[in-house]
Amino acid sequence: MKWIIFLLVSLISLTGCQQSIDKSDEGEVWKVEFRAEQPTDTEESTFHTFHYMPDNHEAITDIEIVTDRGLEISRESIGPEPSITTEGGCSSCSTTPEDVNIEVNIQWADQGEDYEESLILD
C-alpha cells in the first residue's frame, strides 16, 4: 500500500511541472495562434500558426512577420495552404511568461498593394 501511495505522489509531482500557454488574436485579415509547452522553468517548445483568412491566399506575396519575442519570418508567398506554421524551442532559456502579451506585426503585398496588420496575442 505504501508503494502505491509513493508512486501516485511521484507521478503527480512529475506531471505538475509541465505548463502549457495558449495565446491568440484575430484581426481583419490574419488569425494568429501561439502555444508554448514548458516541461521545466528553463525549457520551452513553441508553435505559431499564422492563418490568412481571405480566399485569395495564392495572390499574396512578400510576407514579413515579426514578433516582440524575437520571431522573424520572410516568405515570398504563402504556398498552397492559407497558413504559415512554425515550431521552435530552447533549453536553459528564459521561457514565455503566462501573463505577458505577444505583439505580432504582419506585412504583405496583394496584387501590388502593400498591407500591414498588428495583433496582440493574450
Whether 84 is covered by a domain: the verdict is yes
**Using alpha carbons only, what angle is made at residue 24 by residues 84 and 98, rounded to the nearest 5 degrees?**
120
Q: Any idea what the CATH number is for the domain that residue 53 is in?
A: 2.60.40.1230
Which letter does DSSP use for residue 93 in this model?
A: S
The predicted pLDDT at position 79 comes to: 85
The predicted pLDDT at position 83 comes to: 96
- Tell me the CB-side half-sphere exposure of residue 67, using CA atoms within 13 A: 18
> Per-residue pLDDT for the chain (122 aa), expressed as one digit of tens each?
555 554 444 444 455 568 999 999 999 999 999 999 999 999 999 999 999 999 999 999 999 999 999 999 999 998 889 999 999 999 999 899 999 999 999 999 999 999 999 999 99
Q: Which domain holds residue 56?
A: 18-121
Whether 1 is covered by a domain: the verdict is no
**How many domains does one find in the chain?**
1
Whether 43 is covered by a domain: the verdict is yes
Residues in the chain: 122
Structural contact between residues 118 and 105, judged by C-beta atoms closer than 8 angstroms: yes
Give me the torsion for CA of 59, 118, 98, 81, rounded to 10°. 0
